[in-house]
Chain A
Amino acid sequence: MNSIEINNLTKKFGSFTSVDSISFNVKQGEIFGFLGANGAGKTTTIKMLCGILAPTSGDATVGGYSIAKEPNKVKLNIGYMSQRFSLYNDLSVEENINFFGGVYGLDGKDLEDRKEWVLKIANLRGKEGLLTESLPGGIKQRLALGTAVIHKPKIVFLDEPTSGVDPISRRNFWDLIHHLADEGTTVFVTTHYLEEAEFCNNIILINAGKLIAEGSSKELKSKHLKNKMYEVECERVVDALEILEKQPYIDESSIFGNNIQISVNSLYESTKQIEETLTGQHSIEVKRIEEIIPTLENVFIHLLEKHNNGSAN
């Protein structure tokens, strides 16, 4: 069953097309990763799905309601956590929870139960009276998420929820996201961290407002990266990269840390070929050559380069 269905959704700001006729579906209870570079149109798409922005054309149903025709019903069924921290810094933890619980119509026992739950997940039990301003970043994010889902929405939108948060807090935050998904909540999340995208059931990638790939992490890797990849550790990395780029048996090459990662095509025979090129012809000493399993990062860089070259030509 689909929780979100998007059909040719488009948003234009003047002559600039921020989101260009994208269509995809999100299933009930899945963690859905929505990826793309800065300015690709991620936030604009989320804002349309939450009813903050009206689409220029196209439509989407969120939780069964059309965002164009029934935005108020959409709002009752979703939670939203924006890029910026959006609780009131000058209110205490409890006052924030009371306010947002109140505007979602919670009161009495319901409100107390949910308040208890939010405090639990944010690790803020017994600290209800603290001013929100004084909380550390990771706790703030958890409190913001808890508050965003205080009314138990079917769908929650998280716009770069972990940006600027330390790795341990990020891990804790993702535990929380899995917990929500286990309870049947659909989680729609954007992120810049590709290792986080590996946690998602399904992913789509957009670039310049257009959808360029979709599927699970596994599908994306096997579908878009058919070539084998190697990591080469050698001397004079920059010179070596320049040399390798010209070889007919290599499709793509790039520097990762102190190493070079290459993807090879059918002309490639064995690691000897690489050693021959670097050491034999240019006397660059090779320390290590190892086949690697491509990461999502490799897939996306590959896809984005392909897409950008395609639109440039």
Chain B
Amino acid sequence: MRTILHIIRKEFLQFKRDPKMFGIVLIAPVFQLIFLGYAVNLDVENVPTVVFDQDRSQVSREYIESYTSSGYFNVYNHVNNYDHLQTEIENGNAILGLVIPTDFEKRIGRNETVKLQAIFDGSDGNKGSISAGYVASITNKFAQEINLDFRDRMGIKFNPVGSIEAEVRAWYNPTLKTRVFMVPGVVGLLLSIITLVLTSLAIVKEKEIGTLEQIIVTPIKPFQLMMGKLVPFAIMGFATVTIVFTAMGAIFGIIPRGSILFLFFSSFIYILSTLGLGLLISTISKTQQQAMMLAMFMVMMPMVFFSGFSFPIENMPQALQWVTYIVPLRYFMTIVRAVILKGAGFAELWMELSALLFIGVLIFALSAQRFNKRLD
């Protein structure tokens, strides 16, 4: 036990001397939080729109006005021909091109159905489909008003038919902001980087400069060395988590609805996997560069892609969805988001927690065994 403490103390002394490390653990998390909080925004607002209004009537102007007043569209240009509209979309100036036919007002006056054209730049599928949804709802509303207007004019005082209206409420994230979903995920990302990447680097660094050889000649047992290396990074990981939670509340006003204690407990279970993977990488790599490449490209990137951090798992092909079941970050992401946004606890998340524990113990045990064998 004393030996482990000696190693831990040494790690912290080295950590203190390394300003880069200090930055990575204490400052980078806040930056990352801000970047992801502001930059990663999948919300669709201010869709640049170009209009080709062939009718130029009062009704067509009212219709276009309903786009501007919705807040989702920015009608920045009116054009006089198709070619010009096409160019605007091709240049990427406009995402939506609206074409209103010549007889727009006339046919509405005759109580006929009018068709108009809405052309989208669909290269960003997400943005295109969300904008299309807005267009449909604006048009529906406009049509409904025309209907009501007609009924008023005809003196019809009651609804001729019953109708259905869905009262939509988004729970946990009422304004449906991407940020509220992304920011808690950063906790999982940072905790992984510190416990996985930095741990493996710290061990391989000693290999590289030759101090590991010196340590092997001392009576330090592999188990003690392992604990001495892992504990400091686990502590730093928790320090980062604390910083991120604080910053999350201070900057974005996102305050965990669930128990912080439960979050820390889940984090502890989660880092069994990441520390284990870090150890594994350290036994494979000879240089810090190798360790870095392995950690980033072989472990971190697939883990992030398959965790549901940014790409929804439900949208993946079934085969890939199965793959995500072995990715520890997947479970941790679910837990973190559920605890922070929904206020969930053990009762709702015990399955994810058990999966995490199982994978963690497995990875950690295998890696520890390999680490011990390599040093002996």
Contact = CB atoms under 8 A, between A and B. Distances in A.
Interface of A: 50-52, 54, 71-72, 75-76, 78-80, 82, 84-91, 95, 99-100, 102-105, 131
A80 B3 contact: no
B55 to A, nearest CB: 75
Contact of A80 (B14, B18, B214): B214
B374 to A, nearest CB: 12
Nearest to B5: A102
Interface in B9-29: 9-10, 13-14, 17-18
Given A86-B211, A88-B211, A104 B218 contact: yes
Judged by DSSP, the binding face of B is helix
B209 A76 contact: no
A189 B216 CA distance: 19
B216 A95 contact: no
B10 A88 contact: yes
Contacts of A79: 217
B218 A103 contact: yes
Contacts of B219: 72, 75-76, 103-105
A52 B217 contact: yes
A86 B214 contact: yes
A102 B217 contact: no
Given A88-B10, A91-B10, A82 B213 contact: yes
A51 B3 CA distance: 19
Contacts of A51: 216-217
Contacts of B13: 91, 95
B211 A87 contact: yes
23 contacts: A51-B216, A51-B217, A52-B213, A71-B376, A72-B219, A72-B221, A79-B217, A80-B217, A86-B209, A87-B214, A90-B14, A90-B18, A91-B10, A95-B10, A95-B13, A99-B6, A100-B214, A102-B3, A103-B215, A104-B218, A104-B219, A105-B2, A105-B219
B214 A75 contact: no
A91 B221 CA distance: 22
A81 to B, nearest CB: 8
A54 B376 CA distance: 8
Contacts of B221: 72
Interface string B139-163: 0000000000000000000000000
B219 to A, nearest CB: 5
B136 interface: no
Interface of B: 2-3, 6-7, 9-10, 13-14, 17-18, 209-211, 213-221, 376
B210 A86 contact: yes
B335 to A, nearest CB: 37
Contacts of A71: 376
Nearest to B220: A103
Given A99-B10, A102-B3, A103-B6, A85 B18 contact: no
A99 B7 CA distance: 7
A130 B219 CA distance: 27
Given A50-B217, A76-B219, A103-B3, A90 B211 contact: no
A102 B213 contact: no
Given A90-B14, A90-B17, A90-B18, A85 B210 contact: yes
**Most chain A beta carbons < 10 A, residue from B7, B10, B210:** B10
> Which 6 pairs, one residue from A and one from B, show the smallest C-beta to C-beta distance?
A84-B210, A102-B6, A86-B214, A80-B217, A86-B210, A90-B17
Nearest to A52: B216
Nearest to A101: B6
Contacts of B217: 50-52, 75, 78-80
A102 B2 contact: yes
B214 A82 contact: yes
